[in-house]
Structure 1
Amino acid sequence: MLTDSPAAISLKPRILIADDSRIVRATLIKHIEGMFEFREALDGEQAWEALLIDPSIRVVISDLTMPKLDGYGLLKRIRASKISRIRNMPVVVVSGSDEQAERDRAKAAGATDLITKGIGTGQLLSRLDILSKLVSTQNEFERGLEALVNSSDTGDHVELPSPQEWALRAEDMRSSAVRQNRNFVILNACIGLKHPELDAYPASPPPSVINAIGQLLHRTVRQTDCVARTGDNEFTIATGSIHFDSARNFAERVCRAIANANLVKDGQLAMIASCGVVSITECGAAASAEMLDVMRQMARERALLGLQNAITGVIGAEEEDLLKQGGSLPGIAAVQVLNDVQDKAADLSIDLATLLRWIKEGRQDQVLLHINKLSAELKPLLDLLVSRHKV
């Protein structure tokens, strides 16, 4: 007779609730108990300690104003952590207001989502369920990659369609999407290695790593999709009947999983996974016979642009424009590899110095792209200067 062992029991996802208000914590617990496990922290320091010792935590819900370490400080520690499990942890910020300035500041600090204290149970549960599942999927992808790389049967050959076979299948998918008025998306993933002391183009990962990524992509994509190895260190995926945001989310999870998986033994090197994404709606002016080639080239150029900038994450039209103008990507859920390797959090003074240099160089258009991101951070300084002037 079979009996349930502790390992066989399916545990509910665990949510960490960080808030110095007992009433707020009790209200949130009332919303989520039954569907999630929970752990409480009275301030940011307690929340940070809980994250370090409890690997079962899937999502953090944090207040912004707490003693010892506030929500912004906690976010900064999380996003600068050496531990990928913590660094990529979804953080939902709880706010007492719905002001856009506070929302923008929380997003810029690394918040995944922002909710108000009067949020309904159904809406909260839905958001937490999505975030916890994304974490689980990413963790499974990482473990699968590591297992494939370390397995003895990972050879030099990956059973994926050839680029020619991929093109035929992708064209059928594209034509069908046009006839049925559905979406069609191409994703191009480029993989590289980056050393913190080298500014040159990223190096090539070991063949075993590339092969493992190809095998896992083949197992992960839907049967209706098509993935092929289209370069030494790149893969191209064609997918139809999918919302563009869903395609981006899938690409983001894949990129993060590749970068976070323990695939490289040299501690000085970091994995880069940049994915260019193109939807059929971007190429409406292209002739039907040429549209697939146009989309594929656009996706590849975007992926290479991200790789050259050492960015792990998704590069779409907006990200491409910003990078070509010399800007950064404040809105992208990406991992900056140099920050990961050197373990440095984003520094406001560096960003401000860069903006001042751009102004002197006459690059005002690039400066304006970042004004909104920094305005909330600079406001206290401006208020202090105004108050001293009045005195």
Structure 2
Amino acid sequence: MAMLEATQEAPPAKRVLFVDDSRLMRYAGSKFLADKCDLVMAENGEEAWQQINRDKDIELIFTDLMMPVMDGHELIRTVRSCRHQRIRKLPILVVTGNEEANAREQALSAGATAFIPKPFSAADLTGALRIHLEGQIPEAHLITNAADYPPESGLLSNVPEPEYYYLRIEQAFAFHLRQNLDLALMHIKLNNYAELARRSGTAWAEAIMRNLRYFLHRELRQDDSLHRTSDDLYSIILMGTHKAGARNLVSRLRRALAGARVRFANQELPLSVRFGIQFPDLAAEQTPAQLLTAAHGLFDLSGRVSRIR
């Protein structure tokens, strides 16, 4: 009796469109991506638009901005205004030089998903594929005097932030009032979160925030409560902590992060943070939301480190 042998075929490679009028850039894109996806090429935005309409299997677009016939800005606007959702929702990764700041802002306004710096590396392009096609979170490594960070555990709740932070503040205030203990609220702001998100995409900014959280989780006591209270801000409830103790902790964290840099793919960026401290009156009629609003006021708009209060 003949035996049937089941074989498992590899899933088809995902189709990616690479748009650039430079033959050299197209060659580099092909060299780095050819074995990672089903790559198709276009020399300008008009040719790319025709391919997008013809080929329903295209799942991601890399595009230059400065091209003849139809440039990258018009291509982005055309894709984002398309009546077909499949086309309108395509990730669009803009390949551009760091000197083109105004062009990047225009591309973001038009609907660009993220940016790839020129000159790009294989890691830049393949990393973008993993993030935007496979949904992976980029690996980022915080370079400080210490090496590895523990896994993120015991930090999450089914109550969303900042509501969970508000709940924990109410609980902490009640406990510290009963026990007549000191309490402090410390806040750590990533200064360049918005710029990182604009230049490299939200995934990279989030990777840096995640690694900053690992660092804080390692440095804080188990009793302290760490919360992500806004995109660029961590807030920590320092249980049983008096003013001198809170200020000493800030000094220690500043020293630990001095000169720290974040490395991912072939890029390395300085980690720029500011600290603020609140010493709330536990008996005052001030809501947790009002306290958080006041915390944002600790960080002025000039970019200087605000005075610790």
Structure with bigger gyration radius: 2
Give TM class, smaller chain: 0.3 to 0.5
